[in-house]
Amino acid sequence: MHIGKAVGAFFLLFPALTLAQVGLNVDVEAAVRAKFVDAPVMADIARCESKFTEYNSDGSVLHGGLGGTMIGVFQISESVHADFAKSLGMDIYTVPGNLAYALYLYNKEGTQPWISSFPCWAPVREASPSNGAGPDMSRTTDTITMNLSLGMIDPQVLLLQQTLNTKGYPIASDGPGSPGNETQKFGALTREAVQKFQCVQMQICDGDEYTTGYGFVGAKTRVALAGASTATPTPVSVATSTSEYTSEQQAEIAALQAQIAELTKVLTTLLAARGS
């Protein structure tokens, strides 16, 4: 069949498809890298989120995530962002629009919108001393030897939760994660406990896993966890939940918690000296 007739027949069968969709995902990776030349981490995010995919093999737009509501290359939430992106002249159902709006989000919020896939696009994990090829899931140890972050499921998360609970930064007061009920899942409560520990012990009270390491258990946090005294006072809770506050207010609350904890240490030392 003549190529022109073949193309014409294709569009008769699929009239809604554009020429770009016929090409499907050709050069999407190159487009992402060109768009984010100054932020190469975004290429890693696109790889993890969609494998540089905007369209399915039948030409329809890629829907993923919970309930299939995440769109395209950067898996942007349809219900939250589609209309707003359109008001900015960005159509997240196309490659250029999806990338443009991802850049808008990155300039506004950094990598935070994609933090749920952090374990995939995070910096390379440290090799296991046992074989140099990654963590040995069967080993038993009382030391945290690998990087840990939101979404991971690993025996070392259990050790992390036990360590935080012991040192005065409880995951929960009861139920999963509470003392004696630690789990292997690094969820939101574990992340919050890590952040409290980092704020008090390491003076890291804002940012995120990628920028400042806030909420990420990397080498520095592992060292701090190993060295922290089990007598560390539990940070004073300013509010039962900070989710209702802005990020700036949450940072201020965390800083105040750190100051209160330090003052508590001083007071404990003074009282001990007086008693002696």
Mean pLDDT by 10 residues, the chain (276 residues): 46 45 74 92 94 91 91 95 96 96 91 86 50 41 82 90 94 92 91 94 89 89 84 44 58 70 61 51
The predicted structure's pLDDT at residue 6: 46
The predicted structure's pLDDT at residue 10: 39
The predicted structure's pLDDT at residue 269: 57
Half-sphere exposure of 74 (CA within 13 A, CB side): 32
- Please report which helix (H) or strand (E) contains residue 77, including its range: strand 76-77
Q: How far is CA 60 from CA 12, 18, 22, in A?
A: 16, 10, 10
Q: Residue 99's closest CA among 19, 25, 32, 41? A: 32
DSSP state of 55: B
The predicted structure's pLDDT at residue 147: 87
3-class secondary structure, 106: helix
The predicted structure's pLDDT at residue 273: 56
Measured distance CA(251)–CA(257) in Å, rounded: 10
